[in-house]
Amino acid sequence: MSSTGPDTTNSAPATSAPATANSAVAASATVITNIANLVTNDPSLGDSPLGLIQDAAVVIDGDRIAWVGESSKAPATDNRFDAGGRAVIPGFVDSHSHLVFAGDRTPEFAARMAGQPYAAGGIRTTVAATRAATDDELEANVVRYLREALHQGTTVFETKSGYGLTVADEARALEIAARHTDEVTFLGAHVVSPDYADDPAGYVDLVTGPMLDACAPHARWIDVFCERGAFDGDQARAVLTAGRARGLHPRVHANQLTHGPGVQLAVELDAASADHCTHLTDADVDALAHSRTVATLLPGAEFSTRAQWPDARRLLDAGATVALSTDCNPGSSFTSSMPFCVALAVRDMGMTPDEALWSATAGGARALRRTDVGHLAPGARADLALLDAPSHVHLAYRPGVPLVAAVWQRGERVR
* pLDDT value of position 154: 98
Average pLDDT for 330-336: 96
Least confidently predicted of 115-119, 156-160, 378-382? 115-119
* pLDDT value of position 13: 35
* pLDDT value of position 356: 98
Confidence band for 204, pLDDT divided at 50, 70 and 90: very high
- pLDDT tens digits, 340-394: 999 999 999 999 999 999 999 999 999 999 999 999 999 999 999 999 999 999 9
String of DSSP letters for 38-69 = E--S-TTTSBTTTTBEEEEEEEEETTEEEEEE
Half-sphere exposure (Cβ direction) of 310: Cα atoms closer than 13 Å: 31
- Torsion angle, CA of 336/151/179/328, rounded to 10 degrees? 0
* pLDDT value of position 23: 53
Half-sphere exposure (Cβ direction) of 94: Cα atoms closer than 13 Å: 32
Amino acid at 156: V
Q: Looking at the predicted structure, is the pLDDT value of residue 116 above 90?
A: no
Chain mean position to CA 174: 17
Angle (deg, nearest 10), helices 353-360 and 338-348: 140
Confidence band for 305, pLDDT divided at 50, 70 and 90: very high
List the one residue out of 97, 241, 200, 109 whose CA is nearest residue 158.
97
E-state strands within 127-245: 154-160, 183-189, 221-226
Average pLDDT for 242-270: 98
Chain mean position to CA 189: 20
Average pLDDT for 115-129: 82
DSSP summary character for residue 194 = G
* pLDDT value of position 118: 72
Average pLDDT for 2-16: 36
Confidence band for 123, pLDDT divided at 50, 70 and 90: confident
What is the rounded CA–CA span in Å between residue 240 and residue 224? 7
Least confidently predicted of 9-18, 308-317, 388-397? 9-18
DSSP summary character for residue 308 = P
* pLDDT value of position 117: 80
Number of other CB atoms surrounding residue 197 within 10 Å:
10
Amino acid at 328: C
Quote the pTM value. Answer: 0.93
Average pLDDT for 216-233: 97
What is the rounded CA–CA span in Å between residue 77 and residue 394? 31
Chain mean position to CA 151: 16
Residue pair 315/322 in contact by the 8 Å Cβ criterion: yes
Q: Looking at the predicted structure, is the pLDDT value of residue 205 above 90?
A: yes
Amino acid at 281: T
Residue pair 52/44 in contact by the 8 Å Cβ criterion: no
* pLDDT value of position 182: 96
Confidence band for 120, pLDDT divided at 50, 70 and 90: low
Q: Looking at the predicted structure, is the pLDDT value of residue 9 above 50?
A: no
Number of other CB atoms surrounding residue 398 within 10 Å:
15
Q: Looking at the predicted structure, is the pLDDT value of residue 243 above 60?
A: yes
Angle (deg, nearest 10), helices 135-151 and 167-178: 40
* pLDDT value of position 119: 63
212 CB-near residues (< 8 Å, 6+ apart): 186, 188, 222, 242, 243, 246
Residue pair 200/207 in contact by the 8 Å Cβ criterion: no
Q: Determine how β-strand 249-250 pairs with β-strand 252-254.
A: unpaired
* pLDDT value of position 25: 86
Confidence band for 226, pLDDT divided at 50, 70 and 90: very high
Q: Based on C-alpha coordinates, what's the Rg of the chain?
A: 21
Confidence band for 121, pLDDT divided at 50, 70 and 90: low
